[in-house]
Structure 1
Amino acid sequence: MKYILTGATGHLGGQIYQELIKLVSSHDVTAAVHTVSKANHLKEAGSTIVPIDFLDEDSLVSAFKNQDVLIYVPSKSHSSFSRVSELENVIEAAKKANIGHMLAMGFIADQINNPFDLSAFYGYLPRRLASSGLSYTIIRNALYADPLVPYLPELIERKNIIYPVGKEALTFISLKDSAKAFAKVAATKELLKNGKIYTFTQTKNYTMPQLAEVLSDVAKSKIGYQPVTLAEFAQIYNEGNEGHMLSSMYDAGGRGLLSEVSLDYQSVMGHPAQDLEEFLKENYQA
C-alpha cells in the first residue's frame, strides 16, 4: 500500500507520520507539504516529499497519483469557507488521481446547532464525503489535551480556569494518542472501512471544577473555576485574531456540545486512551 499524508510537518500530521512509519515502510509514505524545506527530516527517513497547494487542484492531482490511501489533515485556516474550498479541491483531485481510500480528520464540534466558527466545515466533511463517490473513513477527535500543558503556568498565576462553559463538561485526547490511532486505522485494512466514522476521546469528560481539581493536583497549586464571559475570553486571547474562534468553541462547550465520550479508541487500539491527569503529569514540569 502507498500512503500520502497532508500536513506531514504539522502538529498532528508530524506525529501521524512518525507513528505510521512504525507500521509500514517509510518508503511507502509520501509527505505532502506546503514548505518542502521543512520536510528534510522526512526525506532522510526514507519518504518521498511532494509540494502541494490546497488551493491549486493541479498540484494536488500530481501529488495524489499512484497513491492508495490519502490521509487528509486539513490546513490550520480559521475560516470554514476556506476549509470547505480546500476540501472540494482535495476531493476532486483524489477522484482524478484515482485515490483508493481517503482517511480524513474530523472534530466532535460538528453538530448542526454548534456555534464554533469551524463547525460548518466539520459538519460538511462527512456529508460531502458521503456524496463524493470516494471510499472514505473519518476520525473525529476530541479537544486536544496538549495546549493545557503550556497553559498551566498562566492558570497557576490566575488561580482559576476561566473557560466560559458553565456547568458543562469537556472531553480531551492527546495528539500522541490521536496520531497512534490514526496510523493504526490507516495501516489496517479491516479498520479502514468505507463510511466508518471513529470518535477518539479519553474515557471520561470533565466539568470545569473537575478539570480544576486535576490541574491543581498536577501543578501542586490550588486552581479554581471562575469563568469569564465569552466576549471577555475573546478579548483576552485575541492574539493572531483567534479570539472569536476560541470563544466560539467554548460557546459550544457551554451548550454541552464538546462533552462526547466514545470507546472507539479502545476498540481500535486494544486499550484506553491515556488518562488526562497521567498525560499532564508526564508532560508538565513546574
Structure 2
Amino acid sequence: MLNLKIVVTGATGHLGRQIVDHLTELVAPTSLTLGVHTPSKAQDYADQGMTIKPLDYTEPATVAAALDGADVAVYVPSKSHDSFSRVTEFEHVVTAATQAKVGHLVVMGFIADQANNPFDLSAFYGYVPRRLAASDLSYTIVRNALYADPLVPYLPELIERQNVIYPMADQALSFISLADSAAAFAKITVTPALWTRPMYTLTQDRAYTMPELAEVLSTASGEKIGYAPVTNAEFGNIYNEGNEGHMLSSMYAGGSMGLLDITTDDYAAIMGHPAQSLPEFLKENYRR
C-alpha cells in the first residue's frame, strides 16, 4: 500500500464517508486523517486507527491544524447554501494548504459552474478553478453531475404525484452515483499519474430529458410516471424544508437552460470501466 498521509475534510458527510470507505481499500487506515465538524460522529473511524481532528471551516486555525503534514488533501465542501459562505471556507482551505505545503489537493466541484448559470452556488463552483489556477498548489478538481441517490427516496412521492415535476422544460440532466463518485475520488487521491489533469467531470454515459427520466423511473418502480413540470417558484415553495427551496429551484433553472446535461468518459478513464447506468443504479437500490 502507498505510504501517503491523506487528509479528508467533510469526512462524515454523505460523500465524505464513502470516499473514506473507498480509501481504506487502497491505503492503510493509519494513513488517513479526517477533518470533521463533530469528532464523535467519526468514532467508528477512530476505532479503525484513523486520526480524527476537529475542523470548522469558519475557523482557519482548525483547518490549518487538520491539513498540517498532508501529502494529499481531499476537500469536500460544507452544505452551506450560499456562494459567499462557500468561497470564504474555500479561502481558508487554500490558505491552509499553501502554508502546510500540501503535496496535492483534490477538490469537489459540480457541473453547474458556468458563468451564466443562475444556480445559487454557481459562483462558488466557478470560483474554485480560477482560485486554484492563481495558487501555487498542485490540484485536481473533480466535478460531479447530479447525484442519482436522492431519486431512490424520492420515488414514492413521484409515484403518488404520477409525474416528474422538475422545471426543466425540454432539457436533460446527467447523473452519477455517490458510490461511483467516491470511488473515483479515492482512485485519484492515491494515483499521482492522474494528477496531471487539473479537472475531471464524473457522469454516467448519457443524460436524460424529463420524459426519458420519467420512463426510467416508471420501469424501476413498476408504476406509470409522466412529466408535468411545475414553475421554478412552485418547485422552490414545495421543497423549502431547511430553506433549500430557492437553491434547488435555481439549480433547475440552470438545467432548463441546458447547463446540467454534460456527459464525459472521464469516469471510465479513471476507473477502467463505465459508471453504473441510472437504470442499473435504480434496479440495485430501489425496492418496491
Matched, 1:2 2:2: no
Tell me what 1:250 maps to: 252
How far 1:61 sits from its partner (Å)? 1.3
- Write the distance in 1 (CA, Å) between the matches of 2:48 and 2:166: 41
The aligned runs of 1:8-157 (5 Å cut-off) are 8-157=11-160
Matched, 1:214 2:216: yes
* Structure 2, unpaired ranges of 5+: none
**TM-score, normalised on structure 1?**
0.99
- Write the distance in 1 (CA, Å) between the matches of 2:211 and 2:68: 50
Amino acid in the other structure paired with 1:4: V
Secondary structure at 2:259's aligned position in 1? coil
Please give the per-residue CA displacement for 1:226-253, whole angstroms capped at 9, x wherever unaligned. 0000011011111111110000000010
Secondary structure at 1:5's aligned position in 2? strand
- Write the distance in 2 (CA, Å) between the matches of 1:163 and 1:104: 28
Amino acid in the other structure paired with 1:152: L
- Write the distance in 2 (CA, Å) between the matches of 1:108 and 1:225: 24
Tell me what 2:198 maps to: 196
Matched, 1:170 2:166: no
Determine if contact 2:34/2:66 at 8 Å carries over to the other structure. no
Secondary structure at 1:191's aligned position in 2? helix
Tell me what 1:239 maps to: 241
Number of residue pairs the alignment of both structures matches: 285
**TM-score, normalised on structure 2?**
0.98
Percent of aligned pairs sharing the same letter: 62
How far 1:182 sits from its partner (Å)? 0.4
Please give the per-residue CA displacement for 1:96-118, whole angstroms capped at 9, x wherever unaligned. 11111100000000000000000
* Structure 1, unpaired ranges of 5+: none
How far 1:145 sits from its partner (Å)? 0.2
- Write the distance in 2 (CA, Å) between the matches of 1:196 and 1:98: 18
Task: Point out 4+ residue stretches in structure 1 off by more than 3 angstroms.
Answer: none
- Write the distance in 2 (CA, Å) between the matches of 1:214 and 1:64: 43
Partner of residue 266 from structure 2, selected from 246, 264, 269: 264
- Write the distance in 1 (CA, Å) between the matches of 2:169 and 2:79: 28
Amino acid in the other structure paired with 1:254: S
